[in-house]
């Protein structure tokens, strides 16, 4: 679909052609990994996120026994894995790159 420039100046567009108040295209799915207890996929622009959930699992106690029915406390353990290329710290590239 061609952009109607009669009502909007090209100088006000972003490099990818969006106006200042337009968001990037977004795509989301749930239950994307059949072996996980829960999973999702989210894509917005060039950012892609995959999330998987495994559990719940029976916790381990220091005494070696399981929890009792009267326990009022719970513990949630979260592990986050981030790919090495996807961090927020960026390496400065040389002029030849």
Three-state secondary structure string covering 71-88: CCCCCCCCCCCCCHHHCC
pLDDT of 7-60, one tens digit each? 667 778 888 888 888 889 999 999 999 999 999 999 998 888 999 988 877 766
pTM of the prediction?
0.56
Q: Does 92 score more than 80 pLDDT?
A: no
How far apart (Å, rounded) are the C-alpha atoms in residues 69 and 59? 13
For strand 38-44 and strand 26-30, is the pairing parallel, antiparallel, or unpaired?
Answer: antiparallel
- pLDDT > 90 in the chain, percent: 22
DSSP of the chain: ----TTSS-GGGS-TTS--TTPPPPEEEEE---TTSSEEEEEEETTEEEEEEE--------TTSS---TT-------------GGG-S--PPPPTT-
**Which pLDDT score is estimated for 74?**
76
């Amino acid at each position: 679909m061609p952009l109607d420039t009669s009502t909007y100046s090209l100088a006000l567009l972003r490099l990818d052609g969006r106006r200042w108040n337009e968001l990037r295209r977004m795509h989301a799915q749930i239950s994307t990994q059949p072996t996980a207890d829960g999973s999702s996929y989210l894509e917005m622009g060039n950012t892609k996120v995959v999330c998987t959930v495994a559990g719940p699992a029976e916790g381990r106690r220091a005494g070696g026994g399981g929890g009792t029915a009267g326990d009022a406390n719970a513990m949630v353990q979260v592990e986050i894995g981030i790919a090495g290329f996807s961090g927020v710290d960026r390496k400065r590239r040389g002029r030849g790159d």
